[in-house]
């Protein structure tokens, strides 16, 4: 037996008890007559004491221990004279009677402390050491808590967790698949799932009624900071439901996670249509912790001789509350910000609402005080506020103003990490025109049902068709999305046609699903949550990588195990493959 207790559980209740602990040497302090060692395990830290006068040999042994050595000790719990209220075991210490060295440690390549001196690459290579640090360890513990609480809620609601296959079939639609060559069928390949979409729909047709799965998904995309080639979804599907049933159910899940994981019980849910989200926030994932809504100024700014506004499809502004005193330099920074290529505006018009009731604008030449006052009123601005206005092509300008809004929120400290504002965005467009391929793509995926009243538009004006689709956005982060699905073969065929599939292609790729629709498919719908991202949100981080035990870097590499790597020629031969 290596321990009677963990390093996180002893308290004054155990004083005088003989105990045994095992763990890592976090640090040691040699104070001449006394040596103190902080012994660490996953559960906490316990202080060990060695006294030169009581047992010089043992004390010498203790002094020889290095950081990260693994030891087992026996001793007696004693009250600490110098109590440490910041840790749970801070009221006791262990008077050690024997030490057993279980495992020596070389000097770690970076310090195992909350604030480490290790760079990103080094910490990835030695991820097993990085995980010893509290911030990373706590992220993994948070993730565990999230998955346990998710299952707890879904189980309580009658959902059944069903595992769907990982070795499935490649479909050209959507992102790029990872493929797996088949040895038994040379020249053929499995694909790793981008999501279990078709399987969960088949499970509904199979009558399973309420399905969920915490499931690994794969996408062979070029990577960004918040993308990983493999990621985890909370994937759900329900039968005999309307959108309303689904939103209510997953408001339940979300509330449960907020209360179980963050201890927050006062979460409420807002809803907004996609059209309104674009109109008022310029994005389909608005951060609604703060207001700063867009106001359309087209009606009041045109025909005053200012060409930029006159020629613009959209002139739109926001009110940066309390920024009326911004300096020239600050205003220039904002202009530079919107002109960055990744934001893409060509300029920024501002109006300062001065404390004396007057207005100072960058377009004073074209607009008099009365007109500027009308703008200020339209934007609900008071003295001391700053109006920021962009003009141009609607899509581009909404995007740029959305970026500016977020930038201002950062500057104004409006992104309060302790505040959570969940928002359902609904009525997404069903289709999206792709200029490259000159055809429509499904905005969510090709199984999303159009809104009943918009079905006739599928023939006349497909771009106007709204979908029974919804996203859950929290603080500007898209946490999940889903839809009511098509459950009718004819409608599904019609949609594939709009998406440019021939009947033959549709049958070849999704025939199994469309055939299934002919054997009594219930109305159904579902949702999938990006679990890594949800963990990151709850953990207060922007990067999902911090919440994955063994993530890959931006080049898709696991630098710890050195993967991907070359394989033996015999393996290639068996698979019937040749490298180009």
Q: 192 to 251, contacts with its own copies by CB under 8 A?
A: 192, 198-199, 202-203, 205-210, 216, 218, 220, 222, 229-230, 232, 239-242, 245
Q: At what angle do helices 503-516 and 489-498 cross, to 10 degrees?
A: 150
Q: How far apart are CA 523 and CA 528, in angstroms?
A: 18
DSSP state of 292: -
Q: Which stretch binds its own copies (CB under 8 A): 113-121, 153-161, 326-334, 494-502?
A: 153-161
Residue 504 in the binding site for its own copies (CB under 8 A): no
Residue 500 in the binding site for its own copies (CB under 8 A): no
Please enumerate, as own/partner, the contacts of 187-194 that have beta carbons within 8 Å and a separation of 24 or more.
Answer: 187/576, 191/167, 192/166, 192/167, 192/168, 192/218, 193/164, 193/165, 193/166, 193/168, 193/217, 193/218, 194/218, 194/219
Token pair of 398 as six digits: 């909404």
x-or-dash string of contact with its own copies, 1-40, rule CB under 8 A: xxx--x---------------x-x---------------x
Are 388 and 293 in contact by the 8 Å Cβ rule? The answer is no
Q: Which stretch binds its own copies (CB under 8 A): 137-145, 312-320, 344-352, 409-417?
A: 137-145
Question: Which of 31, 57, 438, 578 is the binder for its own copies (CB under 8 A)?
Answer: 578
Residues 83-122 that bind its own copies (CB under 8 A): 102-106, 108
Q: How far apart are CA 201 and CA 494, in angstroms?
A: 18
Q: To which residue do tokens 């911004």 refer?
A: 326
Question: Which of 273, 488, 494, 507 is the binder for its own copies (CB under 8 A)?
Answer: 488
Which residue, 246, 181, 243, is CA-closest to 212? 246
Question: Which of 54, 140, 455, 477 is the binder for its own copies (CB under 8 A)?
Answer: 140
Residue 502 in the binding site for its own copies (CB under 8 A): no
* HSE of 129, CA atoms in CB hemisphere, 13 A: 25
Residue 493 in the binding site for its own copies (CB under 8 A): no
Nearer to its own copies, 189 or 269 (CB): 189
Residues 441-460 that bind its own copies (CB under 8 A): none
Using left for φ > 0, alpha for ψ between -120 and 50, and beta otherwise, residue 409 falls in alpha
Q: How far is CA 431 from the centre of its chain?
A: 25
Residue 170 in the binding site for its own copies (CB under 8 A): yes
The site that binds its own copies (CB under 8 A) totals a number of residues, namely 124
Question: Which of 224, 307, 328, 580 is the binder for its own copies (CB under 8 A)?
Answer: 580
Question: Which of 111, 157, 182, 541 is the binder for its own copies (CB under 8 A)?
Answer: 182
Token pair of 168 as six digits: 């499935």
Residues 516-575 that bind its own copies (CB under 8 A): 516-523, 548-550, 552, 555-558, 560-568, 571, 573-575
Nearer to its own copies, 180 or 412 (CB): 180
């Amino acid at each position: 037996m290596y321990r009677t207790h963990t390093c996180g559980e002893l308290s004054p209740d155990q004083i005088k008890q003989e105990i045994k602990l095992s763990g890592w040497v976090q640090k040691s302090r040699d104070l001449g007559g006394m040596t103190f060692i902080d012994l660490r395990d996953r559960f906490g830290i316990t202080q060990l004491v060695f006294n030169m006068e009581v047992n010089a040999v043992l004390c010498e042994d203790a002094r020889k221990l290095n950081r990260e050595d693994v030891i087992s000790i026996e001793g007696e719990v004693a009250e600490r004279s110098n109590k440490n209220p910041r840790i749970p075991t801070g009221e006791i210490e262990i008077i050690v009677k024997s030490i057993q060295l279980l495992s020596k440690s070389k000097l770690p390549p970076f310090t195992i402390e909350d604030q480490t001196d290790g760079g990103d690459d080094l910490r990835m290579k030695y991820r097993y050491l990085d995980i010893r640090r509290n911030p990373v360890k706590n992220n993994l513990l948070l993730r565990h808590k999230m998955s346990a609480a998710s299952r707890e809620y879904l189980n309580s609601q009658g959902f059944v967790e069903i595992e769907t296959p990982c070795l499935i079939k490649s479909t050209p639609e959507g992102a790029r698949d990872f493929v797996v060559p088949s040895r038994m069928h040379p020249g053929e390949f499995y694909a790793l799932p981008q999501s279990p979409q078709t399987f969960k729909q088949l499970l509904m047709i199979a009558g399973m009624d309420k399905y969920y799965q915490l499931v690994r998904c794969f996408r062979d995309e070029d990577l960004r900071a918040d993308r990983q080639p493999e990621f985890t979804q909370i994937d759900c599907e329900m039968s005999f439901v309307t959108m309303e049933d689904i939103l209510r159910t997953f408001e339940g899940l979300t509330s449960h996670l907020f209360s179980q994981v963050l201890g927050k019980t006062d979460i409420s849910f807002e809803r907004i249509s996609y059209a309104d989200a674009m109109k008022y926030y310029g994005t389909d994932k608005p951060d609604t912790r703060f207001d700063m809504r867009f106001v359309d100024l087209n009606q009041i700014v045109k025909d005053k001789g200012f060409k930029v506004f006159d020629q613009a499809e959209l002139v739109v502004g926001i009110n940066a509350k309390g920024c009326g005193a911004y300096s020239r330099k600050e205003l220039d920074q904002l202009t530079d910000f919107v002109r960055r290529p990744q934001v893409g505006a060509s300029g920024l018009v501002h109006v300062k609402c001065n404390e004396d009731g007057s207005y100072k604008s960058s377009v004073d030449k074209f607009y008099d005080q009365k007109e500027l006052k009308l703008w200020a009123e339209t934007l609900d601005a008071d003295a001391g506020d700053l109006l920021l206005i962009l003009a141009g092509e609607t899509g581009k300008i909404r995007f740029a103003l959305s970026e500016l809004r977020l930038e201002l929120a950062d500057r104004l400290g409006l992104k309060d990490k302790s505040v959570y504002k969940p928002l359902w965005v609904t009525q997404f467009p069903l289709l999206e025109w792709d200029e490259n391929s000159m055809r429509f793509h499904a905005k969510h995926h090709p199984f999303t049902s159009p809104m009943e009243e918009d079905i006739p538009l599928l023939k006349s004006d497909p771009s106007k068709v709204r979908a029974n689709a919804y996203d859950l956005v929290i603080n500007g982060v898209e946490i999940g999305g889903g839809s009511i699905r098509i459950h009718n073969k004819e409608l599904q065929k019609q949609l594939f046609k709009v998406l440019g599939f021939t009947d033959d292609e549709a049958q070849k790729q999704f025939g199994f699903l469309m055939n299934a629709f002919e054997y009594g498919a219930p109305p159904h719908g579902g949702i999938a949550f990006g679990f890594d991202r949800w963990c990151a949100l709850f953990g207060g981080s922007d990067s999902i990588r911090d919440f994955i035990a063994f993530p890959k870097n931006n080049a898709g590499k696991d630098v710890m195990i050195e993967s991907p790597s070359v394989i033996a020629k015999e393996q290639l031969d068996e698979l019937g493959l040749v490298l180009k």
